[in-house]
């Protein structure tokens, strides 16, 4: 029984200290408010990106010009 008290007392004290070191109610409220602002800003950024991606584009896509063949070298240019 004595050994059990010796072991459980420090464990109980450690758990008590660990649970009592949490943030105060004001700090928790402030943390939740900051988290809400952060989540809202991310949600707004995602919404704006999705709206931009789904908006119709006014850009006209022109087909790429076909490359023209280079003129063949003349026989006079080859002869020296």
CB distance 10 to 3 below 8 Å: no
Looking at residue 17, its pLDDT comes to 79
Q: How far apart are CA 48 and CA 53, in angstroms?
A: 9
Looking at residue 15, its pLDDT comes to 82
Query: Which string of DSSP letters, residue by residue, matches 9-46?
Result: HHHHHHHHHHHHTSPPHHHHHHHHHHHHHHHHHHHHHH
Q: How far apart are CA 40 and CA 35, in angstroms?
A: 8
Token pair for 35:
């988290």
pLDDT tens, position by position, 1-60: 566 667 778 888 888 777 766 667 778 889 999 999 999 999 999 999 998 888 777 767
Environment class of 12 (CB within 10 Å of its CB; exposed 0-12, middle 13-18, buried 19+):
exposed
Looking at residue 32, its pLDDT comes to 93
Token pair for 23:
């943030």
Looking at residue 22, its pLDDT comes to 64
- Quote the pTM value: 0.41
State yes or no: pLDDT of 76 exceeds 70. Answer: no
State yes or no: pLDDT of 73 exceeds 80. Answer: no
């Amino acid at each position: 029984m004595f050994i059990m008290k010796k072991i459980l007392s420090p464990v109980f004290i450690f758990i008590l200290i660990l649970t009592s070191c949490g943030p105060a109610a004001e700090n928790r409220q402030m943390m939740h408010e900051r988290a809400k602002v952060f989540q809202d800003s991310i949600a707004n950024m995602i919404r704006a990106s999705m709206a931009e991606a789904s908006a119709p584009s006014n850009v006209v896509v022109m087909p790429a010009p076909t490359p023209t063949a280079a003129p063949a070298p003349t026989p006079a240019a080859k002869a020296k």
